[in-house]
Structure 1
Amino acid sequence: MPRPVVITRPAAQAGELASLVAALGREAVLFPLLEIHPLPDPAPLQAALAALERYALVAFVSPNAIDAAFAARPMWPAGMTLAVVGEGSRMALARHGVTDGNATILRPLDSRRSDSEGLLAALDKSLLPGKEVLIIRGENGRELLADALRAAGARVTTVAAYRRSAPVPEAGQFAQLVRLIESSCDWIVTSSEAMRNLVEIVGQAGGEGAVAKMQQQHLLLPHARIAESARLMGFMNITETGSGDEGLLAALQSRP
């Protein structure tokens, strides 16, 4: 029997990928390792979105940032220049009706670098001095993108659009996790924060022995930085995939 595929994305983002996994004839198991919450005070986000026309570039750090921003302002000015860090974010824009046909969407040229570094490599920094740039992200996001754009001469505003937290599993979820660890699964983990939460929750469920068993599971990771985090946590059975669902599915299809 094919191994189950454990999808650890936030619950609201996992359904489409689960359907695609099922279409491959694989069992999709949802076990979210991050929860996404609205901000307690949406006023800063709303103020930034009310002034979109002032920005020469609006950059999103994740699909969550896109969903939160379009929930706050569903209709955006036509012809804006937007930037995303990966294929998942490009697809999130498309779900809100924004495509290469009605906007300029900048993104990493190398699908293996779906991060701020990859986006920075794709930007023409000679066009940035004096330009207003808005970065929409989660709370406590990395400063690398904002710092690099400021160093290039841009006037950068960052605004949080959502809050991340680790889930608090119920007793039944701990039991489910132990069963998954006892079997052989393919685990899709799409952020370093989720990797850290996984190790923490596994330790709560079964202690060091469970963590040791989890470290033997196969991980599908869409980014080199996540893979490096996993290796530092003791995981070695790792497949680095391309960006977005397409890369994850291709990696699954290449395995028996």
Structure 2
Amino acid sequence: MVQVVVTRPAQDAQRWVCELSAQGLQAIALPLIAIAPAANALPVQQAWQNMANYQAAMFVSGNAVSHFYASNWPLAQDISALEAINTRAWATGPGTVAALHQAGVAATQIDAPDAAAGQFDSEALWHIVARQVRAGSRILVVRGSDHTGEAAGRSWLAEQLAAAGAQLDTVVAYERRMPLFSPDQRRQAQQACADGSVWLFSSSEAIAHLQTLLPGQDFRAARAVATHGRIAQAARSAGFGVVCESRPLLADIVASIESLA
């Protein structure tokens, strides 16, 4: 049976291991991104206090949702739904939508690509929300940063908002860091690069971290499933011998993994 290496941050990775195992696949978690709260919680708290001034808050990930709300607890518990302050919640994919639901945001307050869509990214979200944006609209982007405090992620959506005349504010709710491998994890990763395992990548950053954690590693015998074209290209550039692109939905990922078996 083919082994699947799930590289998402620890909490997400365990959930995916359980879901893939329920589909009859052998899966292990080997997180390649570590998540921590933002070093300075004050800007997040200030953003929450000003939420009524924003037409929409765009959350880049489920981690953005959970850390944004965690930084504002128990205030967020009292008005957990953005509906209470008439601010839309934007999300690029189903994982972020699920995190918003868990935080208490009403489904009617969320704008996101349909779960059956073929693409979950800023471009797909823009097709949904572009008609809401007017000159003078004020939008908050809740996102992560790297360990230096630099905002992580692409600026494409920011460029579209600016072109439409919107005012864009950004707040960092969490940090994305490179994890430290234990000796056992290093051996596990090296073996998975050569034994036919399938690496599951949902971030180009995870691939970059793997290259740093395994300096000089030959990836030509390694196989990967990537959940976006840009991520697939990053895997190919890293030297992965076989790379399959898949939509980030469980059924599609399972089908892609099985196609490599």
Same fold (TM over 0.5): yes
Structure 2 match to 1:229: 234
| 2:225 aligns with one of 201, 211, 220 | 220
SS at match of 2:81: coil
Task: State how far apart, in whole Å, the 2-side matches of 1:245 and 1:57 are.
Answer: 29
Matched, 1:136 2:148: no
Provide the C-alpha distance between the structure 1 equivalents of 2:25 and 2:127, rounded to a whole number of angstroms: 37
Give yes or no for the alignment of 1:104 onto 2:110. yes
Question: Which residue is equivalent to 2:36?
Answer: 37
Contact 2:226 2:232 in 1 (8 A): yes
**1:179 partner letter:** Q
Tell me how far apart the structure 2 counterparts of residues 249 and 80 of structure 1 sit (CA, whole Å).
36
**How far apart, CA to CA, are the structure 1 residues paired with 2:232 and 2:101?**
28
* Structure 1 runs not aligned, ≥5 long: none
Root mean square deviation of aligned Cα: 2.1
Unaligned 5+ residue runs, structure 2?
Answer: 146-150
Aligned counterpart, 2:212: 200
Deviation at 1:174, TM superposition (A): 1.3
Instruction: Kindly state the Cα deviation for residue 38 of structure 1 after the two structures are TM-superposed.
Output: 0.9
Contact kept, 8 Å, 2:97 with 2:110, in 1: the verdict is: no
Q: SS at 2:105's partner residue?
A: coil
Q: 1:95 aligns with which of 102, 108, 116?
A: 102
- Give the corresponding residue for 1:17: 16
On the 8 A contact 1:8/1:187 being kept in 2, the answer is: yes
Residue in 2 that maps onto 1:70: 69
Matched residue, 2:180: 168
CA 138–106 in structure 1, closer or farther in 2 if over 3 Å, else same: same
Partner of 2:93: 86
Output the CA distance in 1 between the equivalents of 2:250 and 2:25. Answer: 15
Aligned to 1:5, what secondary structure does the other structure show? strand
% identical aligned pairs: 29
Matched, 1:186 2:206: no
Residue 125 of structure 1 and its aligned partner are, at CA, apart by 4.3
Give the counterpart letter for 2:95 in structure 1.
Answer: G
Between 124-133 and 221-230, report the one with greater CA deviation.
124-133
Over 3 Å counting, the alpha-carbon distance change for 1:243 and 1:172 in structure 2 is closer
User: Taking structure 1 as the reference length, what is the TM-score of the superposition?
Assistant: 0.88
> Does residue 149 of structure 1 match 2:161?
yes
d(CA) in 1 for partners of 2:169, 2:41: 16
Range that drifts further, 241-250 or 46-55: 241-250
1:49-87 CA distance string (max 9 Å, x none): 112111111101111111111212331332531111122
Q: How far apart are 1:97 and its partner, in Å?
A: 3.2
Work out the CA distance in 2 between the residues paired with 1:52 and 1:223. Answer: 31
Q: Secondary structure of the residue that 1:9 maps to in structure 2?
A: coil
8 A contact 1:9–1:33 mirrored in 2: yes
Instruction: State whether residues 187 and 219 of structure 1, in contact with CA within 8 Å, keep that contact through their aligned partners in structure 2.
Output: yes
| TM-score with structure 2 setting the length | 0.86
Is 2:138 aligned against 1:159?
Answer: no
Q: Deviations over 1:67-112 (max 9, x none)?
A: 1112123313325311111222122222323342x42323379833
Selected match of 1:120 from 122, 126, 132? 126
Whole-angstrom distance in 2 between the partners of 1:108 and 1:216: 36
On the 8 A contact 2:82/2:89 being kept in 1, the answer is no
- Paired residues in the alignment total 247
Change beyond 3 A, Cα 1:26–1:110: closer
Q: What is the match of residue 148 of structure 2?
A: none
**Residue 125 and residue 150 in structure 1: after superposition, are their counterparts in 2 closer, same or farther (change >3 A)?**
farther
Separation in 1, partners of 2:28, 2:201 = 13
